[in-house]
Amino acid sequence: MPLTTHIARLKWLLIVSCFSSSLALAEPAAAAPSGEVHFRMQRSANIDKVLVNSQGEPFALLLGEGSVVMLSSNASEFGFAPGQRVQVEGDAVETALNVVYYRARLTRGGKLLLHASDSPARQPSHEDCAGNELTARGSLEALLAAPDGQITGMVFVDGTVALVGPATTLDASSLFRGAKVEVSGPAMAADGANALRIDRLALAKR
């Protein structure tokens, strides 16, 4: 083999070797933190209901096609009401029935209202429900879920919110939009809120 050809081949092997080493030494992509949603979705829809917490403040919007938008702590400033059209972009948690948006960027009429970095509104908890025993019957419209996908409650067509209690096991795979559900448990006393903790649940057959 001519000396010039041999030298050229050695240079090529050296280049390839250095390139391979740089790939091996490159830092791997950081793993996404466990229990969080890793993608964002966009949607434009009309508000169907404004859901309120135990302080009577809005904590979520139920949109007309069943999606739920978790609001920020300053949401009460913007006068959200049924029928208003909003545009939403947020981290999406998909349940068996609907999508729940967290860290939402929300606009209305072209005006930016909520930022993804805003602090979240206080969500209602089963611990807020310590009132009289209440039984609610109705059609299921949407599910509520935590950022890790755990089902935390359900919303009826009439706006009643039923929250999963510590002793309740909720099998979301058996639920569907429009299902006839009966739940019983202590009520949450708050202005404008219609909520209870699920201690007992009955689901009618399809």
Percentage above 90 pLDDT, the chain = 31
For the domain 126-203, what is the CATH code? 2.40.50.140
- Whole-model pTM: value is 0.75
Q: Alpha-carbon distance 161 to 144, whole Å?
A: 9
Look up the CATH architecture of domain 40-114: Beta Barrel (2.40)
Instruction: Decide if 40-114 and 126-203 have a common fold.
Output: yes
Lowest mean pLDDT among 57-61, 121-125, 165-169, 176-180: 165-169
Q: Alpha-carbon distance 153 to 181, whole Å?
A: 13
Backbone angles phi, psi at 59, to 5 degrees: -120, -15
Residue 26: pLDDT over 70: no
Q: Alpha-carbon distance 119 to 135, whole Å?
A: 33
What are the residue boundaries of the structural domains of the chain, listed by start? 40-114, 126-203
117-171 per-position pLDDT tens digit: 888 888 877 777 777 888 888 899 999 988 888 888 999 998 889 888 776 777 7
Compute the average pLDDT of residues 107-124.
Answer: 88
